[in-house]
Structure 1
Amino acid sequence: MNHPQTVLLLPGQGAQRERMAAGLYGVHKEFTAAMTDFFDALGPEGDRLAAQWLRPAPNPRLGEAHIAQPLLLGVGFALGRAVSASHAPPGLLLGHSVGELAAACLAGVFRQADLGRLAAARTRVLGDDGRGGMLAVATPLSGLPLDMYPVVVAAVNGPRQTVLAGPLDALEHVDGLLRAAGHTTLRLRSDRAFHSPSMAGAARRLAHEVAALRPAPARSPLISTRTALPLLDRQAVDATFWADQLALPVRYWPALSSLLDASGTDPGLLLLDADPSRSLSAPARRHPAVRAGTTRVVPLLAPPRSTGGPADAEIFEQAVESIEEAITRNTRAVSRR
């Protein structure tokens, strides 16, 4: 069918919010079932994780990797299931950091029954590796200091959105240099320097855990933010490909911009942003395809101050209606041709 292709954007570390998407829990059948199964699969740890998820703000522990990482994985997967049940499976999946693992689960690379095992493994292998933090900088790569070692570029999130990672003392030093140079910075909620070489040991340990899950070729199209290209079958079944993601930079903007560059004419895309802060779609809003209206941005959750309450269900239903309206419009346009 010739209609705007839905692209589900799933967030990673730093995007977690108190009670994120909890307003759908007990309201949306498929979302509730997916989250319940996820927590059940984690046993007693699932009960503790659920309590942290449902705790109102402020919750300083939400910056701890062993809490944020599994929650982002579980919520991302559950939102994908909710979208699929309410309309149809997304045409494309694009996940940032641990959001890419959620996308892989939705695509069938990992079985739903193994979602809990994957979350537990990714948390278990961390140990003391990568202790540090992450820093968002409103500047392109070319605007960064040439010598930041041991701080490294952890993610390219937009034309002027870069994330750095490293030990806290070094990160604070670089933060001071950037602010003195007039750059805007923001510390992300993370107690680890994800996507930096300091995570290499954890990545090696994770490879053994992932291999035991026997990943399969994806059944749905997935654009990898590790390569900024469509996921290949040989990559999907390679445990090291998924494990090394911990220590390698996230190429989110190159992945998303390649889709936007190809969507300049009708029917365009519908970008479904699963981040309450809308950060995943923020860099796309200045792209010509979005400014021209051929590609549209549709939030799935209420903004941070409202997420976790009734507004989540309201925003989600509006998103479903937007998808259905876009499909109807394009189906009529095709019939008139």
Structure 2
Amino acid sequence: MSSSSAREGHRPSVVLMFPGTGAQHARMAAGLYGHEPVFTEAVDAVLDPLGAEGRAARADWLTREPAPPLDADTRAAPLLFAVDYAMGRLVESWGVRPAAYLGHSMGECVAAVLAEVLSLADAVSLMWERVRTQHATPPGGMLAVAAGAPELAGYLGDGVVVGAVNAPRHTVLSGPERALRAVERRLTADGRTSRRLATRTPYHSPALEPVARQTEELLRTVRRSAPARPLYSAYLARPVREEDVTSTEFWAAQPTAPVLFWRTLDRVLGDGDRMLVEAGPGQSLTVLARGHRAVRSGRSGVLSTLPPRALGPEEDRRAVHAARERLAGAGLLGTPGHSGVLPLDLPVS
């Protein structure tokens, strides 16, 4: 935040951001497990209901050589969900009262839990049902490209689509493996920069339509409530409304719908001055947000809560401590364990 804002006593409202698939990495936030009680309890609340699969995921997460690797959905999905959720709970335990929540891809389900739209049990069941049904999906992946979506129109087709628009020159393509590899070769030949994301599944593409159909039955049994605090949807690029919350189609279609992160971030930052707090592994959303004009101008701020990659237990703890100190220095902590003091100043439509 700018020094002038600090001198004037201005306080931005906090928005918690949760990263999605591709942000996971080996031993992400592992240094907090068993060290931070709130974090540990929250991780266990996600993994314990999964039984043997949850125990295996936790064991792989805490070991130095995970098997299978974390790009396998049976590991990446539950562990990423658990770390996102646990970091959100940890930040809130400091007395932070978020004005709103924003999730990227699967992070939107975590955000929905914290906004009290979904119960944790239902969200974990939905996450695992998607993992289970994805086994029938042909192999594929996602490719981050340093280009705007309009520039990539000529590379689309044969099942390859725009899966996410993260920033003006940060687009993610998604599709079946063979077609995506062909696109990757063309991009390289054309001098364009790209990199594969850590997933074997073509999220946010038509390839996952069977997953959307098969989860509809489960979703009909899931209770959904109006958000206790505003929940921005990166599929809608706005806060969710009552009709979105109650729509089975909205939730079922998320694995196939494109993530419109930049448009949503633009809306979030246009609705007021913010302190964006990335609660999850890596710093991918922090890096993207730093490029927004509202952050560059100093009107809004952004901070991460974890290191950009696995740097050891002490670095995990140092990053969390630094994030808490920065929030405290900005006057954004209330009473630990309570709701805090920030006003809810966001529109809901």
| Corresponding residue number in structure 1 for 2:200 | 191
Aligned positions of 1:168-187 closer than 5 A: 168-187=177-196
Note the residue ranges of structure 1 that are not aligned, 5 or more in a row. Answer: 332-337
1:49 aligns with 2:57: yes
Separation (CA, whole Å) in 2 of partners of 1:82 and 1:185: 34
Q: Which amino acid aligns with 2:301?
A: R
Aligned mate of 1:14, from 22, 36, 46: 22
Separation (CA, whole Å) in 2 of partners of 1:102 and 1:88: 17
Separation (CA, whole Å) in 2 of partners of 1:62 and 1:295: 34
Contact 2:46–2:78 under 8 Å retained in 1? no
CA deviation map 1:123-150 (0-9, x unaligned): 1222312521110001001221425212
**Secondary structure at 2:101's aligned position in 1?**
strand
Aligned positions of 1:179-328 closer than 5 A: 179-263=188-272, 268-306=273-311, 309-327=313-331
CA deviation map 1:209-248 (0-9, x unaligned): 1222222222121100010110112211223211200011
How many percent identity over aligned positions? Answer: 39
Separation (CA, whole Å) in 1 of partners of 2:121 and 2:140: 32
**Secondary structure at 1:125's aligned position in 2?**
helix
Aligned mate of 1:28, from 17, 31, 36: 36
How far off is 1:277 after superposition? 3.3
How far off is 1:108 after superposition? 0.9
How far off is 1:325 after superposition? 1.6
Separation (CA, whole Å) in 2 of partners of 1:188 and 1:102: 20
| Corresponding residue number in structure 1 for 2:83 | 75
**Secondary structure at 2:276's aligned position in 1?**
strand
Select between 242-251 and 128-137 the one with higher mean Cα deviation: 128-137
CA deviation map 1:146-197 (0-9, x unaligned): 2521210000011100000111111111111111222110001111100001
Number of residues of Structure 1 aligned to a counterpart in Structure 2: 326
Aligned positions of 1:64-213 closer than 5 A: 64-149=72-157, 150-213=159-222
The structure with higher relative contact order (CA 8 Å, sep 6+) is: 2
Cα distance change on mapping 1:90 and 1:37 into 2, 3 Å: same
Q: Which amino acid aligns with 1:182?
A: G
| Corresponding residue number in structure 2 for 1:334 | none
Q: Which amino acid aligns with 2:107?
A: G
Q: Which amino acid aligns with 2:136?
A: D
Note the residue ranges of structure 2 that are not aligned, 5 or more in a row. Answer: 1-8, 334-341, 344-349
The TM-score with structure 1 as length reference comes to 0.90
Contact 1:4–1:327 under 8 Å retained in 2? no
The TM-score with structure 2 as length reference comes to 0.87
How far off is 1:57 after superposition? 5.1
Separation (CA, whole Å) in 2 of partners of 1:319 and 1:251: 27
| Corresponding residue number in structure 2 for 1:335 | none
